[in-house]
Amino acid sequence: MLTDVMGENPKASKKVNETPHHVFVFIEIFACEGGIQSYVKDIFQAYGELNAGYKTDVFVLRDSPDCSNPFESDSLKFHYFKNQSPQIGRIAMAGALLKFLLQKRPQHIFCGHIKLAVLIQTLCQPLGIPYTVLTYGKEVWEPLKSQERRALAAAREIWTISRYSRDRACAANGIDPKKVKMLPCAIDGDKFTPGAKLPELLEKYGLTDAKVLMTVARLWSGDIYKGVDVTIRALPTIAQVFPEVKYLVIGRGDDQPRLAQLAKDLGVSDRLVFAGFVPTEDLIAHYRLADAYIMPSQEGFGIVYLEAMVCGIPVLSGDADGSADPLQDGKLGWRVPHRDADAVAAACIEILHKHDQRCDGKWLREQAIAHFGIAAFRQQLLALVKGQ
């Protein structure tokens, strides 16, 4: 049996390879919400629309069969391995995946996270099955364990979301840049759309007649790189030109007390509004409240910038991170040193004056969709998959 599936029996080899067969392996897709999970869902949405005749199996470590999964189909089958014991779940998935690889001999494996790369290399390399490792941002920006580096080196390709992530990962881990391919984040222009500021939300947050700056971010003490504190420090200067300015912060976390105290110390507490957690389905209406989206951060990409832009909102980002891609190196927004409150203040004042083309909501939306809409994402994914 093993000689058949390993390809030494020509008749058996032909049989198992009649249909192009791919395998995806992820840590989790549906168990929680986050940037990586959203990106993976975009991949499956686009992958399912390729109409390329692929037969595909997806192995997911931390999801369970009772999850809400809109992607399951005759050609896209999911295998779940959630277990109360993470170690048992991982062993179960490894065993099932090995059995699957021996029996089916898929054409290509797509490894959905660096933490799975060593397992995928261990299973695929002896069988001669090529694999691709998907990367996203800071998980590969620093030197990895030697086993993980070897797993990346043995991969046929590495996918990542931005030039910045590619460059940092390559520099930190000795990766050949030619091996790294771009699959940037995507934005659904039918879901995120411009619209009027809802009076009930303006009243709820005390934003009536205000010039509204906005940030959507986790307020965790370990994530101060998001730059909420820098924007708070910029408020006194901005208020000298726009006395009606207010800053709406959407998100929650243990850093909120520090941020509130900072605003109090600077005398701008009345300009800072913490909205807390906002469900995804309500986020669009909140974007529409903004006159500018401000996040001088250090992002692997920054999907929030695209969300704001397709809602017609001008954006500000840091100038040394993956946001260079969604902002098209400054063509579509303002990029400033991410810890420089004076630079943030100056850029915010420019934006609120609205004399720049980058404040033209209609143009901004068109540009963002042209580069990062679902159709563009689908074409990029098809080119990458066909290249395997």
Q: What is the pLDDT of residues 224-237, one digit of tens each?
A: 899 999 999 999 99
Residue 318: beta bridge partners?
336
Tokens of 150: 């070897």
Cβ neighbours of residue 151 under 8 Å, at least 6 residues apart?
Answer: 114, 117, 118, 120, 121, 133
Model confidence pLDDT, tens digit, residues 98-139: 999 999 999 999 999 999 999 999 999 999 999 999 999 999
The pLDDT of 180-198, averaged and rounded, is: 97
**Cα angle 93, 131, 379; round to 5:** 110
Kindly indicate the confidence band of residue 206, based on its pLDDT and cuts at 50, 70 and 90.
very high
In the block, which residue shows the tokens 């370990």?
A: 222
What pLDDT, on the 0 to 100 scale, is given for residue 6?
Answer: 40
The pLDDT confidence band at residue 74, using thresholds 50, 70 and 90, is confident
13 versus 44: which is more confidently predicted? 44
Which residues are bridge partners to 55 per DSSP? Answer: 21
Q: What is the pLDDT of residues 233-275, one digit of tens each?
A: 999 999 999 999 999 999 999 999 999 999 999 999 999 999 9
CB 182 within 8 A of CB 157: no
Domain ranges within the chain, ordered by starting residue: 2-186+374-386, 199-371
Asked if the model's pLDDT at residue 1 lies above 90, the reply is: no
pLDDT-derived band at 342 (thresholds 50, 70, 90) equals very high
Q: What pLDDT sits at residue 9?
A: 44
Assigned token pair, 190: 């039918």
Structure token digits, residue 56: 């595909």
| C-alpha–C-alpha distance, residues 210 and 197, integer Å | 11
Span 146-158, pLDDT tens digits: 999 999 999 999 9
User: What residues pair up with 373 in beta bridges, in sequence order?
Assistant: 187
Q: What is the CATH number of domain 2-186+374-386?
A: 3.40.50.2000
DSSP string, 40-88: HHHHHHHHHTS----EEEEEESS--TTS--TT--SSEEEEE---SSHHH
**Mean predicted lDDT score pLDDT of the chain:** 93
Select 199-371's CATH number: 3.20.20.80, 2.90.10.10, 3.30.70.20, 3.40.50.2000.
Answer: 3.40.50.2000
The pLDDT assigned to 50 comes to: 84
Q: What is the CA radius of gyration of the chain?
A: 23
What percent of the chain has pLDDT above 70? 95
Res 19: pLDDT: 60
The Cα 231–Cα 227 span in angstroms is 6
Could you report how far apart the first and last alpha carbons of the chain are, in Å? 27
What φ, ψ does residue 289 adopt, rounded to 5°? -75, -20
* CA-CA-CA-CA dihedral for 293, 294, 297, 303, to nearest 10: 0
Lowest average pLDDT, out of 15-19, 218-222, 321-325, goes to 15-19
Distance (Å, rounded) from C-alpha 287 to C-alpha 304? 10
For 331-350, what is the mean pLDDT?
97
* pLDDT tens-digit readout, 289-303: 999 999 999 999 999
Q: What is the pLDDT of residues 161-181, one digit of tens each?
A: 999 999 999 999 999 999 999
Predicted confidence band of residue 54 (pLDDT cuts 50, 70, 90): confident
Fold matches, 2-186+374-386 and 199-371: yes
Select from 109, 200, 94 the least CA-distant residue to 156.
109
Q: What is the DSSP letter of 140?
A: G
Question: What is the percent of the chain with per-residue pLDDT over 90, rounded to a whole number?
Answer: 87
Provide the residue count of the chain.
388
The rounded distance, in Å, linking the Cα atoms of 235 and 105 is 59
Give the other-Cβ count within 10 Å of 123's Cβ: 19
Q: Give all strands (DSSP E) within the chain, no chain letters.
A: 21-26, 55-60, 76-80, 108-111, 131-134, 157-160, 180-182, 211-216, 245-250, 272-276, 292-295, 315-318, 334-336
pLDDT of 20: 61
Residue 10 has pLDDT above 70, yes or no: no
